[in-house]
């Protein structure tokens, strides 16, 4: 087994979702999985960012998460650290840049969220990657953000099979 890999018969105890700032993609995945697990959580679920500079979660993200039944007002951004990576059984990257960062900084190979949940090798792109000048078309930008949240929310239950 390679570094960071687990035997398929081992039960996961912790999952960490990683994105850039820990205010959109990774936090959505964290809340979605926690929501799906419910009160009977047998696994620690968290999120972090590779560049988590203090900034607020956008109202579009907060609003959509509230519509899904999550309360993002208690979310506190976290910077990804060696300790977090080492203490987590399954680390999932939202993008290829996050995979590269984890490999270079912490020496661990991690899969993409979509690889594990959907079986395809595609990153979950951030708004600025899809629409560099997103401020010019706020309706289209909001629609993209909501579509990403909806996709992550619908896809996260696929992880439940890995957790049991």
Q: Where are the domains of the chain?
A: 14-163
Tell me which DSSP letter residue 53 carries. Answer: -
Task: Tell me the CB-side half-sphere exposure of residue 137, using CA atoms within 13 A.
Answer: 12
pLDDT tens digit sequence for 102-148: 999 999 999 999 999 999 999 999 999 999 999 999 999 999 999 99
Tell me which DSSP letter residue 48 carries. Answer: E
Exposure string of 19-35, with b = 16+ CB inside 10 Å and e = fewer, is: bbbbbbbbbbbbbbbbb
pLDDT at 139: 97
Per the prediction, the chain carries an average pLDDT of 90
Residues of the chain with pLDDT under 50: 1-9
CA distance 129 to 67: 25
Q: What is the pTM of this model?
A: 0.90
CATH of domain 14-163: 3.40.50.2300
């Amino acid at each position: 087994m390679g570094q960071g890999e687990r035997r398929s018969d081992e039960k996961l105890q912790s999952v960490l979702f990683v994105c850039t700032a820990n205010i959109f993609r990774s936090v959505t995945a964290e809340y979605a999985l926690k929501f799906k697990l419910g009160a009977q959580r047998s696994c620690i679920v968290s999120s972090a960012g590779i560049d988590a500079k203090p900034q607020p979660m956008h109202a579009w993200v907060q609003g959509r998460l509230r519509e899904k039944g999550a309360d993002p007002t208690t979310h506190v951004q976290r910077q990804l650290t060696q300790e977090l990576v080492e203490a987590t059984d399954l680390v999932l990257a939202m993008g290829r840049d996050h995979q590269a960062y984890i490999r270079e900084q912490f020496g661990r190979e991690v899969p993409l969220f979509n690889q594990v949940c959907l079986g395809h090798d595609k990153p979950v792109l951030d708004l600025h990657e899809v629409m560099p000048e997103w401020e010019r078309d706020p309706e289209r930008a909001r629609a993209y953000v909501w579509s990403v949240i909806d996709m992550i929310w619908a896809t996260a239950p696929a992880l439940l099979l890995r957790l049991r």
